[in-house]
Amino acid sequence: MSLSRRTFFKAMGATAVALSVGKELKAGPEPEGEATEFNGMLYDMAMCRGCHGCEYDCAYAHELPEPDIPKEPPFRKTDETRNTVVNKYETSKGKVFVKTQCMHCNQPACDAACLTQAMHKTEEGPVIWREDKCMGCRYCMISCPFDIPKFEYKSTNPRIIKCDMCFTLQQQGEIPACAYNCPSGALMFGKRRELIAEARKRINDNPEKYVDHIYGEHEAGGTSWLYLSPVPFEELGFNTHIQTSSYPGLTKGFISSIAPVDILLPALLLGVYEATKTRTQTEEEE
């Protein structure tokens, strides 16, 4: 049991390099989402009439099964067959419809969680899932604060199903299917910065129509999907206690401590080993 200084440093160097490549969180988008030109979507719940048309358009655009929505639909969630659902809430101001889909966070937890970069925040704003990379660990589902990624449990080659803000359509210069066909104009596609300005304007012009809050402006560090509401967001089942800093920030401390530990702990251990070596061992080695 012997270890020369040289082998030690060689091994230490190799491990340190192997384990500390790019440990820092990707600088990625700026914490202030306004600084980067992400695309986004403004959803005005005061305008949505609950026609469910976006659900059909979404299913068609993503080759998902056609939704079968009854006349008085019960409360539904997104799942492995649908990227988006619209639910009705009875509120203090009457019926309000809420569309649920991926929020496309500025700094997504799923992107930081993914160990194969299958979940990916594109520079244009949409968070997409890439089939050729995913190994199906479902860590994105654990990490997402909005519980958005869904998994095809019944499949032998399962996919993650979630809204991708019609990324392929966007690349062809078109706008997402749901916004394209929205008859009430509740969905508005554009640059996130401009959408926030537009939302502010709507609130200022009609202060009695909206609550003074844009859900998604700061939630989870800012999201590409922005919500305007006629009633307090608590009434509509939104998570209003969600933190305003980004979720990947929660693991930053741990991740940045890895490289120092990988380098310092071996040195410390070797020091303790040398210090506690008995005389007989030292003699044997010499």
Partner 1 sequence: MNKLVQPLYLDNQENKTWKFILNELKPKGKIFSPFNIISFPVIVTGLIIMYIRFTQGIGSVTNLSQDIPWGLWIGFDVVTGVAFAGGAYVLVFMVNILNLKQYKPILRVTVLNGFLAYLFYSGALLLDLGRPLKIVNVIIGNNFGVSSVLFLVGWHFLLYMLALLLEFSPAIAEWLNAKKLRKVLSGLTMGAVIFGITLSVLHQSGIGALYLMAKDKIHPLWYSEYLPLLFVVSSIFAGISLVIMEGSISQRVFAHQLDKDSHKTHDNILVGLAKICAAGMFAYLALLVIVFVHGKDWQYLSSPMGSWYLLEVIGFVLIPMGLFYYSYRRRKVGLIKMASIITLLGIMLNRMNISIICFKWDAAERYVPSWQEFVVTLTIIFIEIWVFRWIVRRMPVLRKSPEWVRGDH
Binding to partner 1, residues 132-161 (CB under 8 A)? 132-139, 141-143, 145, 147, 150-158
Residues 16-75 that bind partner 1 (CB under 8 A): 18-19, 21-26
* Closest separation in Å from C-beta 225 to partner 1: 18
Q: Which of 13, 66, 93, 116 binds partner 1 (CB under 8 A)?
A: 116
* Cβ-based nearer residue to partner 1, 85 or 228: 85
Q: Which residues pair with 128 in a beta bridge?
A: 120
Q: Which of 117, 168, 171, 184 binds partner 1 (CB under 8 A)?
A: 117
Q: How far apart are CA 30 and CA 1, in angstroms?
A: 51
CA 255 to chain centre: 18
Residues 205-234 that bind partner 1 (CB under 8 A): none
How many residues bind partner 1, per CB under 8 A?
73
**Binding status of residue 3 toward partner 1 by CB under 8 A:** yes
DSSP string, the chain: ----HHHHHHHHHHHHHHHHTT-SPP--S-SSGGGS--EEEEEETTT-----HHHHHHHHHTTPPPP---SS------BTTBS-EEEEEEETTEEEEEEE----BSS-HHHHH-SSS-EEE-TTS-EEE-TTT-----HHHHH-TT---EE-TT-SS--EE---TTHHHHHTT---HHHHH-TTS-EEEEEHHHHHHHHHHHHHH-TTTS-S--BTSSGGG-BSEEEE-SS-GGGGT--TT--SS-STHHHHHHHHHHHHHHHHHHHHHHHHHHHH--HHHHHHH-
* Closest separation in Å from C-beta 197 to partner 1: 30
* Cβ-based nearer residue to partner 1, 27 or 205: 27
- From 11-19, 85-93, 94-102, 191-199, give the range in contact with partner 1 by CB under 8 A: 11-19
Q: Which of 30, 168, 277, 285 binds partner 1 (CB under 8 A)?
A: 277
Encoded one letter per residue, x for contact with partner 1 by CB under 8 A and - for no contact, window 161-200 reads ----------------------------------------
* Cβ-based nearer residue to partner 1, 100 or 198: 100
* Closest separation in Å from C-beta 116 to partner 1: 4
* Cβ-based nearer residue to partner 1, 22 or 173: 22
* Cβ-based nearer residue to partner 1, 99 or 150: 150
Q: How far apart are CA 8 and CA 30, in angstroms?
A: 41
* Cβ-based nearer residue to partner 1, 22 or 70: 22
